[in-house]
Structure 1
């Protein structure tokens, strides 16, 4: 086996090399990754998994009746079609919506009839990032599209932090800062290491575990606001808080048991009590 047989890739779950051996796919995590994600072990099985879609699928009601209201939506089954048929149908639908050189400009905003803001976790790296490619495509054929803001991942947390602290999500502390300087770390919803096994576009080194262990050894204190014990690493200096026992103060911003003053650091308030 030569190095030419090895292919390198960076997925959301980390950097790895892959090669075929004896008819199977062999995955090897990046050698300098101190804590490789166990999710990488799922990649070989995903190659030919029964749940993997091998052909384009089109909802039967749309295939038979075309676009428009349909009571079968949400309960209808899907029909496999060949790629050429799927591409022709997609092109026809895009033209119906006004795509092409003579883009429909009837509305006040170009592309107002097309929603391109949906998103999800794919693992094609940054260049082949699905949402970025869709946005580029819709911009080129419609001149724009209806997008979206915020995400279902951080949900209301990002909006609340924007009001309270000026959106620290845009400039979060680095793992090095946490390891070397942080004295108190409060994690709303915990800080599960499993969540840090993935990173948009991939990461070559998973350092969350080692950073938390270094901070703990230095004397950093941790507070996990979550009903789940495994939502935070098993470290000696973790205070685990859960379950609101009485109504929150009207002055609180809405997170269970945490009062967020307009300025300054947060302070723990009465409604939350240690449970775990």
Structure 2
């Protein structure tokens, strides 16, 4: 199977590092004109340089915009009026005990992780409907189905994304537009790797080794016995963005290394 996205424009929010950047790289490698998005010019330029180092002929557009607020979404739409593929990957996480999470933090997590996808989808879906083709992918998490007690606010937003992606798939029935969610498990993104390394500042192992050990100890149901790579998650997103995935919509697809003990 050869995935060819030539002629398509893909917007990937929060794509300056980690899974988002890997998704942007994968889409660009498949021929899509790919929009790399972040909140600062420095981070966007650095991400573009890194992607081009691996994909020299990548067709990349950098857009500096904070898509977690309405003004940033308007900036994005102004820079990229139409998109064939939208990947809602911007998001935040942090551990915090339920009784320490303030109202402001609950609202902040919902605004960043959920409202960003709502606003971006509202902007770009009508154009996809008009062209009779489109792909929307929400980057959720296995935490949507196995709510982490140390990050209930994060898990709540990831569950909300599943409701949103399914609802938008229903709304898009018969239009040629598919809407799906991808549920990664423990993944060796910069944020997660740095987070685990900070838990044991005296540990002499590499950050990657520490993360793999963390997965084996704290995610004991995970079958890979290691963290997934951002590229491994991105591969599923690129497939869902392709013509080959035209019969897959309204689905929540896991790429969690078997963390969730379920057969469907």
User: TM-score if structure 2 supplies the norm length?
Assistant: 0.26
* Structure number having the greater helix percentage: 2
